[in-house]
Structure 1
C-alpha cells in the first residue's frame, strides 16, 4: 500500500475511535530535549517519576529496532463539570485535578492506541509498532510538539488551538516511514500569566518547571510535605490546575465530548473527613478507576488533612485527635499535628499537648512542638 494513502487512512480511522488529534514526526533523536533534561537533572528540578535514562527519553532507536517515524495522538478532557457539588461547614470538600476526572487516561489512551495498532497491522502485517502513554520512556510533550499536535506552552503543557492544554498525549513508534507534519508556531507571546499565578513559584521561566516545588508533584509524594508548601495546597487532594485555568488559550475550552472522562462530582470533589477512614480496599473501590489513585490512599489522606486545615474545619477536630493518638503512620500524625495547630482552637491545642506525652517518633514530636510553640506565641503564654 502507498504510504501516503495509508497515512490518510490512519488519520480517518483515528477520528472514528475517539482520537481528537493525530500527528506524525520522524524517529530522529530529540537532541534539544536531551540538553534540557540534562540541565533539569543538574538543577535537581526533576520529579523522580520520569524515566531515569535520558538516552531512552530522547532516542527512539533505543526503544524500537530501526524506527522511521512516530505517531502522536491527543485526546481532550473536560475543563468543567455539570452538576458540580459544593462543600459546606461540617462537610468540606477537596478536589482532584481535571486530569483525574473520569476513567484513568492511561487505560483509555492505551485502548485507543491498541486499536490503532490493529488497524495498521491489518494493512501492513510486517509493521513494527511500540506504543506508550505517559509512563513510557519517550517524553510525550516533545513528540507531540514535533508532530504538530500543539506548541509547548510556558506552563510546560502542550497547547492546542482546538482544545487548549486540556489534552492527554500518547505516541507510537513505528518502522513505517510516514510523512512528518510541521510543528506549530509558539503562540504564548509575551504572556506570563501562568508563571505569575503558580502558587509555589514552580514555573522558573517559560517552559522550565522545578517539579520539586510543583503542587501537582507534591500531592503525589508519600513523605511529609515541606511546611512552606502546605498552606499553598488549599483543598487540592490530587494535582493542580492553576497554570491551566489561568491560561488565555483555555478560555471557553470545555471539551465535554469524551464520555470516558465525564467527571463524577461526588468523586472528584469528595467530602474530606470520610476519606480519612477509608481502608485500602475501600479506597480502591471508590477511586481506583481514576488516574489520581495511582499512588494509593496515603498521599490522598495526607492531602485531605491539609485541606481540612485550609478550611479551619473545627468539626474535624475529634477525628484528627483520634488520628493523632492512634494512627500508625508517622506522616499522618505529623500532618495532623500541623493541621490542628492551624485550626487553632483550645481543643486542638489540648490534643497536641496530650499527644506530646506519648509520641516517640522524632519527626512527629517536632511537628507537635512547633505547633505548640506557635500557639504559645499567638496567645502570649
Structure 2
C-alpha cells in the first residue's frame, strides 16, 4: 500500500517500526523490535523483527548527505530509487543471489527487503580467515548473468536503451570518478595518507606520468562505456555470505558502465585481503599460506566461471547477428578482462590513499606494518594498471598478485 508522505524525513526506530506496520509486513498486534544497524557511509538501515516468531525485514533509507562526511556533502535521494530498481532487475536474473524487495518509495527514499542477518559480511569473514566454498562460483554466475542480460548482447537493443535511461546516476558516478579515478593520483585534500607514507606516494604514484596516462584512459572508459548495468560498488562489504549462501546487496551506485568494472572491483578487494593477511596471519604461517592460496583460487575460479557462463549465455541467447562471427566472443572477453585488471588497480590504489579505506588493512594496528602493506598494495595496483594489456590470462594475474605477498 502507498504511504502518504508530503515531506521527506529521516526515519527513527519508532517511525521505521510504524512504517513496517503500515505496509502490513506484520499484523497490527505483533510486538515489534526496531534496531538501527547501518554502519555504512551513506544510509540508515533498520532491522524490524517480530519478537514472538522472529520474522524480520530490513528497511534501508537514503540520507540526503554522505554519513562519512556529513551534511556538507549533499547527495541525491534518487539513488534509493536506483538501488531498488537494480535489486528488482537483478532478482529477476539471479534470485538466489539477491535480496527480495518487498516495497520501495522514492519520496521516502526507502527500500524494504529481506533480512540477511543470518549471514556475515564477506569482508569481515575474510579478515577472520574464513573460507566460503561457494563464493567464487556464485559471484562468477552473478557477474555473468547480470552483465550479459543487461547489455546489448543479451537484451533487445531498444529495450536496453530504454532501461539505461532509468539508471542515470550522475551524483554517485561523480563520487567514483573523483575518489577512484582522480583524487588518489594527485595531492588532493580528500586523500587520507599517513605522513610517513606521503613521500612514497609522491614518488610512486603522483610523479609518474605514464601511470596517470593509463588511469586517464580507464577513467574515460568509466565515463563513456555504457555497455551494461553494473552494480557500481561490488566490494566485499557489499556481499553477505555463509558456507551455503552468497547474497549481493547495495547497488545504489548502479549505472550503465563498462563490463569490467564490477569484475575488477571484486578482484581488487580480494587482493587487498590477500596482502593484509601477511600481517593478520603472520604468527600462523601455515594457515596464512593456505588462506592466501584460497584467495587466489577464488580470483581464478570467479573469472573462469564468469567466462564459462558468459560464453554459454552468448551462444544460447544472442541478440545480434554479429555474435555468430568467429573471434567476436573471444575479443569481447579479453577486453572485459583487460579492463577489469585496470579497474582493479585503480580500486586498490584508491583504498590505500583515498577517502574511505578498507577494514582489511586499516585494522592493522601497527602503523609500520600497515604502511608496508599499503606500499605493497600501491606497487601492485600500479602494475595492474600499466601492465593490464600484458596480463592476458587469469594465471598471469594471479602470478603477479602472489609475487607481492
TM class by smaller structure: under 0.3
**Higher helix share goes to which structure?**
2
Higher-Rg member (1/2): 1
Higher RCO structure (Cα 8 Å, ≥6 apart)? 1
TM-score, structure 1 length as denominator? Answer: 0.26
